[in-house]
Structure 1
Protein backbone atom coordinates (compact mmCIF):
# COMPACT_ATOMS: atom_id res chain seq x y z
CA UNK A 1 0.00 0.00 0.00
CA UNK A 2 1.15 3.52 -0.75
CA UNK A 3 -0.49 6.52 0.92
CA UNK A 4 -0.10 10.05 -0.40
CA UNK A 5 -0.96 13.02 1.82
CA UNK A 6 -2.45 16.14 0.31
CA UNK A 7 -0.07 19.12 0.21
CA UNK A 8 -1.79 21.79 2.29
CA UNK A 9 -0.98 25.43 1.58
CA UNK A 10 -0.84 27.08 5.06
CA UNK A 11 -3.02 29.97 3.85
CA UNK A 12 -5.88 27.59 3.06
CA UNK A 13 -5.76 25.28 6.12
CA UNK A 14 -8.44 27.11 8.14
CA UNK A 15 -10.86 27.65 5.21
CA UNK A 16 -10.54 23.95 4.32
CA UNK A 17 -11.43 23.03 7.90
CA UNK A 18 -14.85 24.60 7.23
CA UNK A 19 -15.37 21.82 4.65
CA UNK A 20 -14.14 19.17 7.09
CA UNK A 21 -10.87 18.77 5.20
CA UNK A 22 -7.80 18.37 7.41
CA UNK A 23 -4.50 16.51 6.96
CA UNK A 24 -5.67 13.33 8.73
CA UNK A 25 -8.69 13.08 6.41
CA UNK A 26 -7.14 14.07 3.09
CA UNK A 27 -5.12 11.39 1.31
CA UNK A 28 -4.95 9.08 -1.69
CA UNK A 29 -4.10 5.39 -1.36
CA UNK A 30 -3.01 2.91 -3.98
CA UNK A 31 -3.51 -0.61 -2.68
CA UNK A 32 -4.67 -4.05 -3.71
CA UNK A 33 -5.61 -3.00 -7.24
CA UNK A 34 -7.56 0.07 -6.14
CA UNK A 35 -7.28 3.85 -5.95
CA UNK A 36 -9.01 5.22 -2.86
CA UNK A 37 -9.23 8.94 -2.10
CA UNK A 38 -10.50 10.61 1.07
CA UNK A 39 -11.06 14.38 1.10
CA UNK A 40 -12.81 15.26 4.33
CA UNK A 41 -16.38 13.95 3.95
CA UNK A 42 -15.90 13.07 0.25
CA UNK A 43 -14.43 9.89 -1.12
CA UNK A 44 -13.62 8.28 -4.43
CA UNK A 45 -12.86 4.61 -5.08
CA UNK A 46 -12.12 2.84 -8.33
CA UNK A 47 -10.19 -0.20 -9.51
CA UNK A 48 -6.76 0.60 -10.95
CA UNK A 49 -7.94 -1.04 -14.18
CA UNK A 50 -10.28 1.97 -14.54
CA UNK A 51 -7.36 4.45 -14.51
CA UNK A 52 -6.83 5.54 -18.12
CA UNK A 53 -3.86 7.81 -17.45
CA UNK A 54 -2.23 10.41 -15.24
CA UNK A 55 -0.67 13.84 -15.73
CA UNK A 56 1.05 16.21 -13.30
CA UNK A 57 -0.65 19.59 -13.72
CA UNK A 58 -0.56 23.09 -12.26
CA UNK A 59 -0.26 25.82 -11.23
CA UNK A 60 -3.95 26.62 -10.87
CA UNK A 61 -6.06 29.63 -10.02
CA UNK A 62 -6.87 29.27 -6.29
CA UNK A 63 -10.62 29.82 -6.77
CA UNK A 64 -10.61 26.82 -9.17
CA UNK A 65 -8.39 24.53 -7.12
CA UNK A 66 -8.89 24.96 -3.39
CA UNK A 67 -11.53 22.71 -1.83
CA UNK A 68 -13.87 20.30 -3.57
CA UNK A 69 -14.77 21.47 -7.08
CA UNK A 70 -16.79 20.28 -10.04
CA UNK A 71 -15.57 21.34 -13.47
CA UNK A 72 -18.50 22.61 -15.52
CA UNK A 73 -16.45 22.05 -18.68
CA UNK A 74 -15.90 18.28 -18.33
CA UNK A 75 -17.57 17.20 -15.02
CA UNK A 76 -14.14 16.41 -13.54
CA UNK A 77 -13.68 16.65 -9.78
CA UNK A 78 -10.90 18.53 -8.00
CA UNK A 79 -9.88 17.80 -4.45
CA UNK A 80 -7.52 20.72 -3.84
CA UNK A 81 -5.40 21.91 -0.93
CA UNK A 82 -2.94 24.09 -2.85
CA UNK A 83 -2.72 25.92 -6.18
CA UNK A 84 0.81 24.74 -7.04
CA UNK A 85 0.58 21.18 -8.42
CA UNK A 86 -1.58 18.15 -8.59
CA UNK A 87 -2.18 14.92 -10.44
CA UNK A 88 -4.96 14.66 -12.99
CA UNK A 89 -6.21 11.06 -13.03
CA UNK A 90 -8.39 10.13 -16.01
CA UNK A 91 -10.84 7.22 -15.85
CA UNK A 92 -12.13 4.83 -18.52
CA UNK A 93 -15.53 4.82 -16.81
CA UNK A 94 -16.59 7.90 -14.79
CA UNK A 95 -16.67 7.48 -11.00
CA UNK A 96 -18.83 9.13 -8.32
CA UNK A 97 -17.20 11.41 -5.73
CA UNK A 98 -18.96 14.70 -4.98
CA UNK A 99 -22.69 14.02 -4.90
CA UNK A 100 -24.34 11.54 -2.54
CA UNK A 101 -25.92 8.50 -4.12
CA UNK A 102 -23.44 8.39 -6.99
CA UNK A 103 -25.76 10.05 -9.50
CA UNK A 104 -22.97 12.41 -10.66
CA UNK A 105 -19.92 10.59 -12.03
CA UNK A 106 -16.59 12.18 -12.98
CA UNK A 107 -14.37 11.25 -15.95
CA UNK A 108 -11.30 12.55 -14.09
CA UNK A 109 -10.02 13.75 -10.73
CA UNK A 110 -7.35 16.29 -9.85
CA UNK A 111 -5.64 15.53 -6.54
CA UNK A 112 -3.18 18.04 -5.01
CA UNK A 113 -1.04 15.53 -3.14
CA UNK A 114 2.42 16.46 -1.82
CA UNK A 115 4.23 13.76 -3.80
CA UNK A 116 2.75 14.15 -7.29
CA UNK A 117 5.44 12.08 -9.02
CA UNK A 118 5.10 9.33 -6.42
CA UNK A 119 1.35 9.06 -6.98
CA UNK A 120 1.81 8.95 -10.75
CA UNK A 121 4.45 6.24 -10.38
CA UNK A 122 2.30 4.18 -8.00
CA UNK A 123 -0.73 4.38 -10.29
CA UNK A 124 1.20 3.65 -13.47
CA UNK A 125 3.29 0.81 -11.99
CA UNK A 126 0.33 -0.86 -10.31
CA UNK A 127 -1.67 -0.76 -13.53
CA UNK A 128 1.17 -2.41 -15.48
CA UNK A 129 1.96 -5.20 -13.02
CA UNK A 130 0.63 -8.54 -14.27
CA UNK A 131 -2.03 -10.01 -12.02
CA UNK A 132 -1.56 -13.68 -11.11
Structure 2
Protein backbone atom coordinates (compact mmCIF):
# COMPACT_ATOMS: atom_id res chain seq x y z
CA UNK A 1 0.00 0.00 0.00
CA UNK A 2 0.96 3.65 0.20
CA UNK A 3 3.88 4.87 2.23
CA UNK A 4 3.42 8.27 3.88
CA UNK A 5 4.09 11.06 1.41
CA UNK A 6 4.50 8.73 -1.57
CA UNK A 7 2.49 9.49 -4.71
CA UNK A 8 0.74 6.45 -6.16
CA UNK A 9 0.21 6.57 -9.95
CA UNK A 10 -2.34 4.72 -12.05
CA UNK A 11 -2.57 4.71 -15.82
CA UNK A 12 -5.88 4.13 -17.55
CA UNK A 13 -6.70 0.78 -19.15
CA UNK A 14 -7.51 1.23 -22.85
CA UNK A 15 -9.52 -1.25 -24.87
CA UNK A 16 -8.02 -1.27 -28.37
CA UNK A 17 -11.38 -1.00 -30.15
CA UNK A 18 -12.15 2.35 -28.45
CA UNK A 19 -8.72 3.98 -28.90
CA UNK A 20 -9.55 5.72 -32.24
CA UNK A 21 -12.74 7.32 -30.89
CA UNK A 22 -11.13 8.36 -27.61
CA UNK A 23 -8.09 9.68 -29.47
CA UNK A 24 -10.33 12.12 -31.38
CA UNK A 25 -11.25 13.60 -27.98
CA UNK A 26 -7.61 13.86 -26.92
CA UNK A 27 -7.99 10.90 -24.58
CA UNK A 28 -4.87 8.73 -24.93
CA UNK A 29 -2.67 6.82 -22.49
CA UNK A 30 -0.25 9.77 -22.43
CA UNK A 31 -2.99 12.25 -21.45
CA UNK A 32 -4.67 10.17 -18.76
CA UNK A 33 -3.46 9.46 -15.23
CA UNK A 34 -4.75 9.19 -11.69
CA UNK A 35 -2.43 10.12 -8.85
CA UNK A 36 -3.11 9.96 -5.15
CA UNK A 37 -1.01 10.86 -2.14
CA UNK A 38 -1.75 11.69 1.50
CA UNK A 39 -3.25 15.06 0.55
CA UNK A 40 -4.65 14.98 -2.98
CA UNK A 41 -6.50 12.85 -5.52
CA UNK A 42 -5.85 14.09 -9.07
CA UNK A 43 -7.46 12.56 -12.15
CA UNK A 44 -6.53 13.77 -15.63
CA UNK A 45 -8.55 12.32 -18.54
CA UNK A 46 -7.56 14.12 -21.72
CA UNK A 47 -8.62 17.73 -21.19
CA UNK A 48 -10.83 16.87 -18.20
CA UNK A 49 -9.50 17.19 -14.66
CA UNK A 50 -10.85 16.27 -11.23
CA UNK A 51 -9.01 17.41 -8.10
CA UNK A 52 -10.11 16.54 -4.58
CA UNK A 53 -8.51 16.62 -1.18
CA UNK A 54 -7.81 13.02 -0.13
CA UNK A 55 -9.87 13.55 3.03
CA UNK A 56 -12.90 14.21 0.77
CA UNK A 57 -12.83 10.61 -0.52
CA UNK A 58 -15.66 8.76 1.25
CA UNK A 59 -14.99 5.34 -0.25
CA UNK A 60 -14.24 3.33 -3.37
CA UNK A 61 -15.62 0.12 -4.83
CA UNK A 62 -14.88 -2.02 -7.85
CA UNK A 63 -17.57 -1.79 -10.53
CA UNK A 64 -18.27 -3.05 -14.04
CA UNK A 65 -18.48 -4.47 -16.55
CA UNK A 66 -20.09 -1.54 -18.41
CA UNK A 67 -21.92 -1.12 -21.68
CA UNK A 68 -19.92 1.00 -24.15
CA UNK A 69 -22.59 3.73 -24.05
CA UNK A 70 -22.21 4.07 -20.28
CA UNK A 71 -18.55 3.23 -19.87
CA UNK A 72 -16.54 4.87 -22.66
CA UNK A 73 -15.56 8.53 -22.76
CA UNK A 74 -16.69 11.28 -20.43
CA UNK A 75 -20.21 10.75 -19.17
CA UNK A 76 -22.44 12.34 -16.55
CA UNK A 77 -25.22 10.13 -15.18
CA UNK A 78 -28.62 11.76 -15.40
CA UNK A 79 -29.77 9.61 -12.49
CA UNK A 80 -27.25 10.70 -9.85
CA UNK A 81 -24.85 13.22 -11.54
CA UNK A 82 -21.99 10.72 -11.15
CA UNK A 83 -19.09 11.32 -13.55
CA UNK A 84 -17.36 8.61 -15.60
CA UNK A 85 -13.90 8.78 -17.16
CA UNK A 86 -13.97 5.54 -19.13
CA UNK A 87 -11.56 3.90 -21.56
CA UNK A 88 -12.39 0.23 -20.90
CA UNK A 89 -15.66 -1.67 -20.40
CA UNK A 90 -14.36 -4.51 -18.23
CA UNK A 91 -13.81 -3.04 -14.76
CA UNK A 92 -13.30 0.23 -12.97
CA UNK A 93 -13.46 1.92 -9.60
CA UNK A 94 -16.30 4.09 -8.36
CA UNK A 95 -14.87 6.76 -6.04
CA UNK A 96 -17.42 8.42 -3.73
CA UNK A 97 -16.92 11.87 -2.22
CA UNK A 98 -18.14 13.50 0.99
CA UNK A 99 -18.53 16.80 -0.90
CA UNK A 100 -19.27 16.61 -4.64
CA UNK A 101 -16.45 17.58 -7.02
CA UNK A 102 -16.32 19.43 -10.34
CA UNK A 103 -14.70 18.18 -13.52
CA UNK A 104 -17.36 17.18 -16.04
CA UNK A 105 -17.71 20.55 -17.72
CA UNK A 106 -15.42 23.58 -18.11
CA UNK A 107 -17.21 26.03 -15.80
CA UNK A 108 -17.23 23.72 -12.77
CA UNK A 109 -20.91 24.45 -12.08
CA UNK A 110 -22.06 20.83 -12.10
CA UNK A 111 -20.86 18.87 -9.07
CA UNK A 112 -20.45 15.10 -8.96
CA UNK A 113 -20.94 12.91 -5.86
CA UNK A 114 -18.90 10.09 -7.44
CA UNK A 115 -16.33 9.47 -10.16
CA UNK A 116 -15.89 6.16 -11.97
CA UNK A 117 -12.46 5.58 -13.51
CA UNK A 118 -11.21 2.67 -15.62
CA UNK A 119 -7.63 2.55 -14.41
CA UNK A 120 -5.09 -0.23 -14.69
CA UNK A 121 -4.95 -2.17 -11.40
CA UNK A 122 -8.47 -1.22 -10.24
CA UNK A 123 -8.31 -3.51 -7.20
CA UNK A 124 -5.12 -1.79 -6.03
CA UNK A 125 -6.74 1.66 -6.35
CA UNK A 126 -9.93 0.57 -4.54
CA UNK A 127 -7.85 -0.91 -1.73
CA UNK A 128 -5.66 2.18 -1.47
CA UNK A 129 -8.62 4.55 -1.26
CA UNK A 130 -10.52 2.32 1.17
CA UNK A 131 -7.50 2.06 3.50
CA UNK A 132 -8.12 5.44 5.08
What TM-score, normalized by structure 2, do the two folds share?
0.92
Report the count of equivalent residues.
126
SS at match of 2:9: strand
2:28 aligns with 22
Query: For residues 64-103 of structure 1, what are the alpha-carbon distances to aligned partners after superposition, in whole Å with 9 as ceiling and x for unaligned?
Result: 1100000000000000001100000000100001111210
1:85 aligns with 2:91: yes
1:70 aligns with 2:76: yes
Contact 1:2–1:122 (8 Å) recurs in 2: no
Greater shift after overlay, 40-49 or 112-121?
112-121
Between the aligned partners of 1:121 and 1:27, the Cα distance in structure 2 is 18
- Of 63, 86, 97, the match for 1:57: 63
Gaps of at least 5 residues in structure 1 are none
Query: Once superposed, what is the RMSD of the aligned Cα atoms?
Result: 0.9
Between the aligned partners of 1:33 and 1:122, the Cα distance in structure 2 is 13
1:117 aligns with 123
Between the aligned partners of 2:128 and 2:24, the Cα distance in structure 1 is 31
Offset at residue 122 of structure 1 (A): 2.1
- Of 35, 42, 52, the match for 1:46: 52
Query: For residues 31-70 of structure 1, what are the alpha-carbon distances to aligned partners after superposition, in whole Å with 9 as ceiling and x for unaligned?
Result: 2411100000000000111111111000011111100000
Gaps of at least 5 residues in structure 2 are 1-6
